[in-house]
Structure 1
Amino acid sequence: MNFSVPRVDDALVAALQHKIDRKTKPLGALGLLEKLALQVGRIQNTLSPQLGEAQMLVFAADHGAAKAGVSPFPQDVTWQMVENYLAGGAAINVFARQNKIRLHVIDAGVAHEFGPRDNLIDAKISPTGTRNYLEEPAMSAAERDAALAKGIEIAQRVADSGARVFAFGEMGIGNTAASALITSQLTRTPLIDCIGRGAGLDDRGLEHKRALLQRAAARAALPADADALTVLAEFGGFEIAMIAGAMIGAAQRGGLLLIDGFIVTAALLVAVRLAPEVRDYCVFCHHSAEPGAQAQLKSLAAEPLIDLGLRLGEGTGAALAWPLVQSAAAFLNEMASFESAGVSDKEPRG
C-alpha cells in the first residue's frame, strides 16, 4: 500500500498571514478562526480557499470483545444503528442535514447482512466483525491491510468526485474499549487513564471494563515501541482501520480532514504513525469527554475547536464544528481589509 502523503506547502504562509492581519479587526481578534483560516489556505495552497460541500464518512463494524461486556449495549445495536442512519433518524443525520453535509454510511464489518441499500457502501471485511482480542488478535494482518486499503479507496473515490472536505464518524459497540487500548499503546499512556464509560457504563461496569482491558493488554504483551500496524491488528476494529486508511486517502488528494472524537482520533493516531504528514491536514473539532482524549490531543499537539462534553461519536462533533470551518474560510474570502474598506488602522508606535 502507498501511505505517502504530500507535505502541506508553506509557500503562501506569509501572504495568508498578511491577508488575515489586514482584515478590519484588531490583530488576532478572531482567535482560533484565524489559525483555522491559515490552515485551510495552506492545505489548498491558495489565498482564497473554496470548501464546497463537506462529506461525512461514517464507518460501522462489530467487535468480538463486545460480547465479553466492554459495553453496556448488546452487539445488535451496531446494525440497528446503521439502520437508523439509513432511515435518517440518528443525531448525525440531524446535524448533517442542518449543516448541509453529505452523509456516506460504510459497512466495514457489521455482523449483519443489509443487502443492497441506498446510501450504504458495502465494504465488509468480515461478516462477523473482528475476533475477541481478550483471547487472540482482533484481526489478521491480511484483514487489517484490506481494511486500510478499502478506506484509502473509498476516500479517494469521494475525492475524485470533487470533494475537498472530509469528516469521519463511526459506529461499533465496544469501539471505545478498542480505542482505549490503541491510545494507551500509541501514546504510551497508562491504560487506566485511557478507559472511560463509553456508551454509558455505571461504576460497576467501568471496573469490569478496566479489568477486561488490562487482561487484553497482558495477553498481547506488546512492547512499548510496538508499531501502529501491530497495535491495530491486536486491538482495532475494521471501522477504525478503515477510517485510518480513509484519512490517508483523503490527505493524498489534498483534502481537509475534520476529526471527531475519541474513536476517530484513535484511528488518526494509527494514520499519523503510517503517514506523519496526515497531521497537517487535520482540524480537531471537539474535545471528547472520554478520559483518553487528553492523551490523544497531547500526543497530536491538537487544539480542538469546541468542548461541549460530547461522547456520542458518529461524527457528531465534526458536524457541529463544520460551520466554524466555513466561517474561517468566509472571513478570509469576504471580509474587507483596512485598505479596501477605507478604514484607518491603529497608529504605529515607535
Structure 2
Amino acid sequence: MTGESAAIDALCALVGPTDRQAGRLGALRLRTLARPHGALGRLDDLVPRIAMIRSDPDPGPLPALVSVLAADHGLARRAVSALPQPAGGRVLALVQSGRAPLNLIADRVPARVVSADFGLVEPVGEAEFRMGAGTEDICLRDAMTRADAERAVLSGARFLRSRLGEETMVAVGEIGVGNTTAAAALTGRLLELPVAAVVGAGSGVDPAAVARKHALVERALIRTAGLPGTDTLAQLAALGGYEIAGNVGVILAAAAARRVVVLDGFITAVAALIAVRLCPPVGHYLVAAHRSAEPGHRPLLQALGLDPLLDLGLRLGVASGAALALGLVNTTLELAHRTPRARDVGLALPAEDG
C-alpha cells in the first residue's frame, strides 16, 4: 500500500455514522408544527436527513460554502464540447472575479464561493492544488496514473479543509471542458451500463457531436474492459479527470467534518459514487440538488439512492444547480425551525394530509 492509499483509508475512517436519534426527533418535531404533516412533500424529508448529519433535531438554516474545482480533459481535443478547451480557464477566472452566474446565485442564498485550478491546460490563479496541464486522452491511455489519482483525491480533501470555515453545508461543483464525456465513460464502467444509457449532449452539442461522443466513450470502455470492477481508484485513474478526483476528496473531507454535502449535477454525482464506494457511510451525508439533462445522471442518482430536489433540465454546470438548491434547503430548514407548534396556536391537525 502506498502512502497516498493509506492516507485515503485514514480519511475514510474519519467518516462516522450519522445520528439516527437526532433524525427521529427531527421527524417527530415536524409532526407537531402548525401545518399538515408532509405538507411540503419531499422537502420535509430533508429535515430529518440533515438532523442526522448535524446531530441536531432542529438545525435551522445552515451557513453554506460552494466549492468549484476546474480541470481540462485530453479528450476535449476531439471536439466533444460546444466550448473550446481554453474556455474552462476563462470560466474559472469569471468565477474568481465574482461575475459568473454561480456568484450571482450564491449572493442570493447567501453562500461563499471558493474555487481552484486542479488541472487546466492554461493555469488560472494559484497553483497550490494544480495536478498538471489536463489529463490524457482516455481513448488512447489512462487519464492519469493511479498515484496521481490518489494525490488528486487527497488534494481535494486538503483544499476543502483549507477553505472551510464555519459553514456546515457544502455545495460541490466543477468546471471541465470535455468532462461529461469522461463522466459518461466512468459511469458506464462503474455501473456496467451501455454507452447509449450514459452519453448526452453535455454543453449542448449537436447530434453529430453526440454521435462522436458515443463512439469515443465506446472506445474508452473497450480499452479499459480488463479493469477489475472492485478497484474504484483504478477506474477513476483510467477514465476520470483531476477535478473529478479532487471532488472525491472534497466529498470525503466534508463528510468527515459532518457537513451536509449538496451535489450539483452529472459530474459531481460520479465523484460521489466513487466516494461512496471508497467509504459507504458517505452516502448518508449527500443531498442531490437536481437531475440534469444528461442521461447518465439518472442511474447515478439511483445507485446513490438519492431523489433530487429539482428537475429543470439544467446544463449550466459550475455548481449552479447546487447553489440554487441551497436556497431551497435553507428555506425548508427555516420553515421547520420557525413555524409555531400547532398546540401553541390552537390548531388540532390530523397526522397526515387529507
Q: TM-score range by the shorter chain?
A: over 0.9
Matched, 1:174 2:184: no
Superimposed CA distance per residue, residues 9-31 of structure 1 (whole angstroms, 9 cap, x where no aligned partner): 21223322210111111121111
Alignment partner, residue 165 of structure 1: 169
Alignment partner, residue 258 of structure 1: 262
Change (3 A) 1:177 1:59: same
1:132 corresponds, among 113, 121, 137, to: 137
Matched, 1:155 2:171: no
Contact 1:54 1:102 in 2 (8 A): yes
User: Displacement, 1:98?
Assistant: 2.0
Amino acid at match of 2:145: S
Matched, 1:76 2:86: yes
User: Displacement, 1:89?
Assistant: 2.6
Alignment partner, residue 273 of structure 1: 277
Q: Give 1:237-252 correspondences, 5 Å limit.
A: 237-252=241-256
1:219 corresponds, among 216, 220, 223, to: 223
Matched, 1:322 2:326: yes
Change (3 A) 1:334 1:51: closer
Alignment partner, residue 342 of structure 1: 346
User: Displacement, 1:73?
Assistant: 2.1
Comparing 107-116 and 332-341, the one that deviates more: 107-116
C-alpha distance in 2, partners of 1:52/1:302? 20
Contact 1:178 1:237 in 2 (8 A): yes
TM-score (norm: length of structure 1)? 0.93
C-alpha distance in 2, partners of 1:82/1:17? 40
Contact 1:188 1:224 in 2 (8 A): no
Amino acid at match of 1:155: L
Amino acid at match of 1:235: L
Contact 1:70 1:212 in 2 (8 A): no
C-alpha distance in 1, partners of 2:208/2:351? 63
C-alpha distance in 2, partners of 1:193/1:245? 27
Alignment root-mean-square deviation, CA: 1.7
Question: Helix, strand or coil: the match of 2:21?
Answer: coil
Change (3 A) 1:196 1:343: same
Structure 2 unaligned segments of length 5 or more: list them: 1-6
Matched, 1:17 2:27: yes
Change (3 A) 1:347 1:179: closer
Amino acid at match of 1:75: Q
Alignment partner, residue 291 of structure 2: 287
Alignment partner, residue 123 of structure 1: 129
Matched, 1:195 2:199: yes
Change (3 A) 1:303 1:115: closer
Change (3 A) 1:290 1:322: same
User: Displacement, 1:191?
Assistant: 2.0
User: Displacement, 1:228?
Assistant: 1.4
C-alpha distance in 2, partners of 1:284/1:124? 27
Contact 1:33 1:327 in 2 (8 A): no
Amino acid at match of 2:130: K
Structure 1 unaligned segments of length 5 or more: list them: none
Superimposed CA distance per residue, residues 109-167 of structure 1 (whole angstroms, 9 cap, x where no aligned partner): 11113354xxxx741011x11111111100011111111001111222334x2221100
Superimposed CA distance per residue, residues 78-127 of structure 1 (whole angstroms, 9 cap, x where no aligned partner): 111112212223221221122211111111111113354xxxx741011x
Question: Helix, strand or coil: the match of 1:11?
Answer: helix
Contact 2:59 2:337 in 1 (8 A): yes
Matched, 1:229 2:233: yes
Alignment partner, residue 92 of structure 1: 102
C-alpha distance in 2, partners of 1:32/1:222? 41
Amino acid at match of 2:208: R
Matched, 1:312 2:316: yes
Comparing 310-319 and 49-58, the one that deviates more: 49-58
Alignment partner, residue 118 of structure 2: 108
Question: Helix, strand or coil: the match of 1:12?
Answer: helix
C-alpha distance in 1, partners of 2:115/2:125? 14
Identity of aligned residues (%): 33
C-alpha distance in 2, partners of 1:335/1:347? 16
Alignment partner, residue 207 of structure 1: 211
C-alpha distance in 1, partners of 2:32/2:270? 38
Amino acid at match of 2:328: L
Contact 1:57 1:169 in 2 (8 A): yes
Matched, 1:46 2:75: no
C-alpha distance in 2, partners of 1:346/1:12? 24
User: Displacement, 1:169?
Assistant: 1.0
C-alpha distance in 1, partners of 2:162/2:48? 27
